[in-house]
Amino acid sequence: MNETTSKKAGKTDSVRALTRGLAILRHINANGAARVGEIARALDIPRPTVYRLLETLEEAGYVALSPTSSLVRVTRLAAALGDGYAVTSELCQAAGPVFSAYAAKLVWPLDLSVHDNFSMVIQETTHNRSPLSIDRAMIGYRMPMLRTSAGRAYLAFCDDDERHHILEHLRRLGDPADLPFLQKAWLDRMLGETRASGIAVRDGGEFRPQTSSFAVPVLAPDRLLGCVSMIWIRSAMTTRDALELGQTPLTEIAGRIARALKGGD
């Protein structure tokens, strides 16, 4: 192979790598997050090549691998490639190290969830490494607003217009399981108690009868970003004991995530 042919081959390889890298970025951005195997299958790119390109994209700051799952997400640098996913990705990147720091201390599983289309969707979790979890594969799991602590915390701390919009939609859907929690007396009491204490509780056997949970909001100065929850087995611990164990750490976790997004710790 002469020098000209060699240069052309090198240029072709570089263009192909760039094209594949951009295709991977578009795929992750379009889906919000993706695993290496999913990317390889969807784009028909060999898995070792996907790994190599993701390493390059991560070094350049365009993607981040979740420290608590095998998901890859876009970063702020790639925000222009999509609408809201980069914000969620940034939130998850902030939550991952904080979850890791507290997971051993609390042991019970933690979730970070965000509001999406009238549900709370789990974006980061320690279920996969908590020895006390009875659930697995929770990333992407959609949870109801009224029957989960995360949904209740979100409703308590989102703005009035958003809360009204969510509740009206749930009333129109008319899910029988939601009806007791759409009663004005229950809603007013839940919202008032949650705002006063800073924490929402699910401990009546609703949604998942085997577990209870509580959640706190992750608040930025100008908006509600999501909620952090701790989940425990109802038969193993009372709500009072769970709050004594986890309320302060959970509040610290939410605060550290919010500060990390502002460039703090």
- The enclosing domain of 223 has a CATH number of 3.30.450.40
| Mean residue pLDDT across the chain | 87
Contact in structure between 257 and 95 (CB atoms under 8 Å): yes
Closest CA to 59 of 67, 51, 70: 51
Higher pLDDT, 66 or 193: 193
Report how many domains make up the chain: 2
How does pLDDT run across 106-145, given as a tens digit for each residue? Answer: 899 999 999 988 999 999 888 777 777 767 667 888 999 9
Q: Are residues 50 and 117 in the same domain?
A: no
Residue 192 belongs to what domain range?
85-261
- Residue 152 corresponds to which tokens in the numbers above? 């209740």
Give how far the C-alpha of residue 197 lies from the chain's centroid of Cα atoms, to the nearest Å.
23
Per-residue confidence (pLDDT) for residue 86, from 0 to 100: 56
pLDDT tens by residue, 1-36: 555 445 455 566 778 899 999 999 889 888 878 999
Does residue 65 share a domain with residue 129?
Answer: no
Domain check: are 129 and 187 in the same one? yes
Cα separations in angstroms, 8 against 2, 13, 14 = 10, 9, 10
Q: Are residues 92 and 73 in the same domain?
A: no
CA distance 116 to 134: 25
Shared domain for 180 and 256, answered yes or no, is yes
Q: Are residues 142 and 205 in the same domain?
A: yes
The pLDDT of residue 147: 97
- Which of helix, strand or coil describes residue 161? helix
Judge if 72 and 195 occupy the same domain. no
Judgement on whether residues 59 and 92 belong to the same structural domain of the protein = no
Structure tokens at 55: 């390493």
Q: Counting Cβ atoms within 10 Å, is residue 234 exposed (0-12), middle (13-18) or buried (19+)?
A: middle
Residue 166 in contact with residue 172, Cβ under 8 Å?
Answer: no
Least confident of 48-57, 65-74, 253-262: 65-74
Residues 251 and 167 reside in one and the same domain: yes
One domain for residues 192 and 175: yes
The residue ranking higher by pLDDT, 118 or 79, is 118
From 81, 99, 123, give the residue that closes a domain.
81
Task: Give the domain CATH number at 75.
Answer: 1.10.10.10
Same-domain pairing of 204 and 243: yes
- Fill in the amino acid letter for 187: L
Cα–Cα dist 195/206, whole Å: 21
How far is it, in rounded angstroms, from Cα 190 to Cα 167? Answer: 14
pLDDT one-digit tens code per residue, 56-75: 998 887 888 876 777 888 87
Express each pLDDT in 208-232 by its tens digit: 899 999 999 999 888 899 999 999 9
Model's pTM, two decimal places?
0.70
- Statement to judge: residues 162 and 215 lie in one domain: yes
